[in-house]
Amino acid sequence: MKDVQLSNLQLVSDRFKAINYEVDINNVSGQNLKPYLKIDVSKQFEFDKKQKHHKAILELAINFQLKRGKKALLKFNTIIEGEFWGNANLPEKQFKELLIKAGLINLLTIARSKIIAMSSLFGFSTPIYIPFINLKEIIEKELKSLDSE
């Protein structure tokens, strides 16, 4: 078996900061509903001089709804944040780019699985599945924001 090489970016913790959930239980089950999804990203960077590594907090604000027409029958809003550490030998710009490219995708995957697990306990027939999305636009927008820092 070959040893694996660790990434220059590591997730060291994640947590929900806020959760808000509303459902019209009588109208959600068995309906053909249209999903609505909005994700806002925020990030904070620093270099931890004491422990000698890059550090970042990446936050995803997820607004998910299931709609019939204009009426939202299910609303699920959450903020999840992840703390990432980066190899100290990595240039700062490269660490920030890696966080946006890899950290964002991985944190969204973790959020999606936690939302499924949590919502399966809410008491109606199916858990909340956040749809897969093309993250290319979000990643490009966040990379551009690095250039304006």
In a domain, 127, yes or no: yes
Residues of the chain with pLDDT under 70: 27-31, 124-125
- State the residue range of the domain holding 93: 9-147
Could you tell me the CATH number of the domain that includes residue 100?
3.10.420.10
CA 149 to CA 144: how far, in whole Å?
Answer: 9
Neighbouring C-beta atoms of residue 118, cutoff 10 Å: 16
In a domain, 1, yes or no: no
Total domain count, the chain: 1
| pLDDT tens per residue across span 100-119 | 999 999 999 999 999 999 98
Q: Which residues contact 119 (CB under 8 A, 6 or more apart)?
A: 21, 76, 127, 128
